Amino acid sequence: MPEGLCRYSSKTFSGVCVSSRSCAYQCTSVEHAAAGACHVHHVTRHCYCYRHC
């Protein structure tokens, strides 16, 4: 994780995260985060957003 960024689970992305591009768009456009990406959590992929700490 880049220095100065904190990760959190997206509050607006629903379903399994198959495209980091879609996740990043949702995080940056809707949640006004710095970035977003799909990551595996337990068995499924979730959308995580990154904001400045």
Q: What digits encode the pLDDT tens for the residues 6-41?
A: 999 999 999 999 999 999 999 999 999 999 999 998
Q: pTM score, two decimals?
A: 0.87
- Provide the residue range defining the domain that includes 23: 5-52
The CA–CA distances, whole Å, from 13 to 1, 3, 10, 22, 36 equal 20, 24, 6, 9, 11
> What is the CATH number for 40?
3.30.30.10
Q: What is the pLDDT of residue 2?
A: 63
Domain count across the chain: 1
